[in-house]
Amino acid sequence: MNTPQWFELLLSQLKQTSLLEWVAVVFGVIQVILAKANKVLLYPAGIIATIASAYVLFDIKLYAEALLNLYYLAMSIYGWSFWSKTKNKPEAPVTFTTRKEWHITLTIALLGWAALYLVLAYLTTSDVPVWDSFVSATAWAGMWLLARRKVENWILLNISNMFAVPLLFYKQLPLFAGLTIFLFIVAVAGYFYWKKIAVRNL
């Protein structure tokens, strides 16, 4: 497929994009910009984006991705609470991941990948169980680090993003694929910005 044909296909698919997909994408963009800026308001925006995304992804049989968004919802509620400053608790600082936290992160990613693959391969009609489960498992791990306000969350999230882009194009979701490319770029900037903050917090 040459470039004009690809662009024509993209425009055709964008015209067929549902309102719910647009809601998910717009609030997803708002969420990641606020996350990069280290603002707690990323979480209410994220809650709206994840609910809309879960419905869209389940409808096209990307079950692990849909489940991932429900996990995002839980992590958004947890992260909102963890980040929030109260009278008795100061705001959680941005820090680097400890060895113990890396062990937890890798456990989430590996066990999540294995468990999701088994569910998708044997209990659903998914045609991409390995791919879908890997994207979701690495994002699960990254979201846990984000909720804990760890610099390295951006690394895990971008591993997920790299594999998610072709998966979303394959599933004919160009708007979601475009959002994921945008998320990848912002995550690179977010990593370096958060790293500076974490160094100041040492």
Q: How far, in Å, CA of 133 to CA of 112, rounded?
A: 8
Q: Average pLDDT for residues 51-58, to the nearest whole number?
A: 90
- Residue 87 pLDDT exceeds 60: no
**How long is the chain?**
202
Name which of 200, 153, 162, 202 is nearest 36 in CA terms.
Answer: 153
Q: Average pLDDT for residues 107-136, to the nearest whole number?
A: 92
Q: Average pLDDT for residues 137-157, to the nearest whole number?
A: 94
Residue range 154-184, pLDDT digits in tens: 999 999 999 999 998 888 888 788 889 988 9
Residue 107: burial class (beta carbons within 10 Å; 0-12, 13-18, 19+): exposed
Name which of 138, 148, 140, 147 is nearest 98 in CA terms.
Answer: 148
Question: Which of 22-36, 42-56, 79-93, 159-173 bottoms out in mean pLDDT, i.e. has the lowest?
Answer: 79-93
- Residue 6 has a pLDDT of 60
Q: Which residue has the higher pLDDT, 83 or 190?
A: 190
pLDDT range class, residue 84, cuts 50, 70, 90:
confident
- Residue 81 pLDDT exceeds 80: yes
Is residue 132 within 8 A of residue 66, CB to CB? The reply is: no
Share of the chain above pLDDT 70, in %: 93
pLDDT range class, residue 125, cuts 50, 70, 90:
confident
Residue 67: burial class (beta carbons within 10 Å; 0-12, 13-18, 19+): buried
pTM, rounded to two decimals? 0.79
Q: What is the mean pLDDT of the chain?
A: 88
The one-letter amino acid code at 191 reads Y
SS (H, E, C) the chain: CCHHHHHHHHHHHHHCCCHHHHHHHHHHHHHHHHHHCCCCCHHHHHHHHHHHHHHHHHHCCCHHHHHHHHHHHHHHHHHHHHHCCCCCCCCCCCECCCHHHHHHHHHHHHHHHHHHHHHHHHHCCCCCHHHHHHHHHHHHHHHHHHHCCECCHHHHHHHHHHHHHHHHHHCCCHHHHHHHHHHHHHHHHHHHHHHHHHHHHC
The CA distances from residue 73 to 44, 68, 95, 143, 166, in Å, are 10, 9, 23, 10, 24
pLDDT range class, residue 129, cuts 50, 70, 90:
very high
Name which of 26, 28, 67 is nearest 47 in CA terms.
Answer: 28
